[in-house]
A = this chain, B = another copy of it.
Amino acid sequence: MKLYGYWRSSAAYRVRIALALKGMAYESIPVHLVKDGGQQHQASYQELNPAELVPTLVDNELTLNQSLAIVEYLDAVQPEPALVPAEPKKVALVRAMALDIACDIHPLNNLRVLQYLTGPLQLTEQQKTAWIHHWLNTGFQALEQRLQQSAGRCCFGDAVSLADICLVPQVYNALRFGLDMTPYPTIQAIYQHCNSLAAFAQAAPEAQADAQ
């Protein structure tokens, strides 16, 4: 398997966690999202992933984008440890929480959106930070409330799931942008627990060959 990613991309980070948890070997191919105007926009990468986003997983004849689809694919071809439960109600709740992050928080604060805010819209650094914090706080408030129903050491009990795989990169991103995490003790505790596990350490941005 080949994983096209970038050390600091939340979406690529999710896939690295899943690969590490499952102990699956892969070749990491860095796509620098800033250098050369963004290598994700080069024709060779665009052919692989028309959306010009990372990550992309190549597994023989399969070329697959979208981190959540990739993680569930890995879960199907290498079922241990399971990252989503088998029972319909349980898997639905895990997926919903993963999507709370992947649809309702992350897309608003990723690189291309921030570039539009400071480019065409000419927002100041202060306005940009307010935007980032607004969507992080909106999402984390809801998540902190939901976790009261489901959390143990992880988002759902004590076993790592797709929800934790989304949560950890999102918190990493929030800390990078200086968000005050004090209002979110449950989220913080899960973040700390997950990061004490070897697979999460191995998948961390700073542990990647292309980290700067």
Contacts and interface: CB of A to CB of B under 8 A. Distances in A.
Interface of A: 50-53, 62, 64-66, 68-70, 72-73, 76-77, 88-89, 91-93, 95-96, 99-100, 102-104, 106-108, 112-113, 116, 120-121, 123, 127, 130-131, 134, 138-139, 141-143, 145-146
Given A51-B142, A113-B108, A77 B69 contact: no
B141 A62 contact: no
B69 A104 contact: no
19 contacts: A50-B146, A51-B138, A52-B142, A53-B104, A62-B89, A64-B92, A64-B96, A66-B100, A69-B93, A69-B95, A69-B96, A70-B96, A72-B91, A72-B95, A73-B88, A77-B88, A102-B103, A121-B123, A121-B131
- Copies of this chain: 2
Given A62-B89, A73-B92, A103-B106, 6 more contacts: A62-B93, A69-B93, A77-B88, A102-B103, A103-B103, A108-B113
A66 B99 contact: yes
A58 to B, nearest CB: 12
Contacts of A99: 66, 68-69, 102
Given A95-B66, A95-B69, A131 B103 contact: no
A100 B65 contact: yes
